[in-house]
Amino acid sequence: MTTITQRMREELVRRNYAEKTTNDYLRIVENFRLFFHKRLDHMRPDDIRRYQVYLLEKRKLGVGTVVWHVAALRFLYVKTLKRYDMREDLPYPKRLPVILSQGEVARLIDSASNLLHYTMLLTLYSAGLRRAELCRLRVANIDSERMMLRIEHGKGDVDREVPLNPMLLERLREYWRWMRPPNYLFPGTNRWWRVDKPITPKVVWNAVQQATRRAGIDKHVTPHTLRHCFATHLLEASVDLRPIQLLMGHKDIESTAIYLHVSKKHLQAAANPLEQIPVSGTAHRRGGRHHSSARQEVWRTTATQLPTTQSA
C-alpha cells in the first residue's frame, strides 16, 4: 500500500465508510495506478479520461460498475488529495433507472416465495431503502408510537427517518409473530440455523430475482429498482423533490432530480409537437395505394388485349 492509498484508507475509516466499500475503493484505485504505472498524485485529467474510456470500451464494464470506479477515484482526488478541480474530469456515466408501474410492483411483491421474502420486498418499496439498509434494520428501529422507521448508518453513515405505513406495520407485526427476531429484523443464518446477525445482501438479491421471474416481469429488476420506484411514484403523486430527497437520504438534490426523467406524469405533461402541426389523415394514402392498384389492373387488362408479335 502506497502512502497515498494509506491516507485514503484512513480518510475512509474516519468518515465511517463500510468495510466492503473501503476495500472496493482501495482495490479500484490500486488497479488505476497499475494501469498507468505512475504515482497517483502525478495523474492528469487526460489519464482519467483515457481510463474511463478503457473501462467502457475495452473492458466493456456495465455503467453501474463504471460509476463505482468513478466514485472511488472521486474520493481519492476530491476527498483525500483535495484536488477539487478533478471533479469535473470525473463525470458519472448517465443511466436512467428502470421503473416499474405500481401494478408491476404489486405483482412483484405478491410473487414472493415466502413470508420472509414478502416482508423484505414490501419494506424495500414502502420505505425506499437501499439493500444494505434493509439488512441492518433492527426491531428497535420500528417506532409504532410515532409511526416512523429509523434507518441508521445509511450511505455516508447518515441516519434518517421515514414514515411507517400502517399497512407495512401490520405486515411487520405478522412477520414478527412468525419469525420472532430478537434484534435484527431480518436475521441471517449459520449452517441453516437462524442467528442474530444481519441477513446477507445476496439473500435480498435472490428474493427479488425469484419474485421477478414468478411475476413474469421482463424488465431488469434489482433490489435498488424498488427504491427507484418508491421515489418515482412519490413524484408522480405530486410530492415535491425536497421531501423525496430527505426520504431517500440524498446528499444532493441533483441525485433526486433524476426521477424527473422517468416520471410518467412529468414526461406526459408536455404537449407533443405533433399535436401542433396540421398533418392530414391516412385516408388519401390508402386511396393512393388503391388508385395505384387500379392503374396496374387496367394496364394488365389492356396488355392482354394487345396483339402478340406473331399475330401481328
Domain boundary among 89, 116, 146: 89
Residues 149 and 10 in one domain: no
Residues 180 and 152 in one domain: yes
**Is 173 an annotated catalytic residue?**
no
Residues 24 and 115 in one domain: no
**How far is 211 from 209, CA to CA, in rounded Å?**
5
**Is 202 an annotated catalytic residue?**
no
Residues 85 and 107 in one domain: no
Domain boundary among 247, 266, 285: 266
309 lies in some domain: no
**Is 155 an annotated catalytic residue?**
yes
pLDDT at position 283 is: 56
CATH value at residue 206: 1.10.443.10
Catalytic, out of 130, 171, 228, 233: 130
**Is 250 an annotated catalytic residue?**
yes
Residues 28 and 155 in one domain: no
296 lies in some domain: no
pLDDT at position 202 is: 93
The domain of 246 spans 102-266
Give the tens place of pLDDT for each residue, 162-189. Answer: 999 999 999 999 999 999 999 999 999 9
- pTM value is 0.70
Catalytic, out of 155, 160, 194, 214: 155
pLDDT at position 287 is: 53
Mean pLDDT of 5-11: 92
**How far is 106 from 61, CA to CA, in rounded Å?**
32
**Is 107 an annotated catalytic residue?**
no
Residues 106 and 230 in one domain: yes
Residues 75 and 108 in one domain: no
261 lies in some domain: yes
Catalytic, out of 51, 125, 184, 259: 259
Distances (CA, A) of 152 to 136, 144, 165, 267: 8, 17, 18, 34
Residues 120 and 172 in one domain: yes
153 lies in some domain: yes
Catalytic, out of 79, 194, 224, 266: 224
With a cut of 60, say whether residue 79 has pLDDT above it: yes
**How far is 256 from 247, CA to CA, in rounded Å?**
10
Residues 182 and 47 in one domain: no
305 lies in some domain: no
Residues 125 and 261 in one domain: yes
Domain boundary among 58, 89, 120: 89
Give the tens place of pLDDT for each residue, 134-143. Answer: 999 999 999 9
Residues 149 and 194 in one domain: yes
Number of folded domains in the chain?
Answer: 2
167 lies in some domain: yes
Give the Cα-Cα-Cα angle 24, 30, 32 (nearest 5 degrees). 105
Contacts of 48 (CB under 8 A, 6+ apart): 73, 86, 89, 90
**How far is 26 from 298, CA to CA, in rounded Å?**
79
**Is 286 an annotated catalytic residue?**
no
312 lies in some domain: no
CATH value at residue 79: 1.10.150.130
With a cut of 70, say whether residue 304 has pLDDT above it: no
pLDDT at position 205 is: 95
59 lies in some domain: yes
Residues 27 and 155 in one domain: no
Catalytic, out of 136, 228, 233, 250: 250
Give the tens place of pLDDT for each residue, 210-268. Answer: 999 999 999 999 999 999 999 999 999 999 999 999 999 988 888 888 888 778 777 77
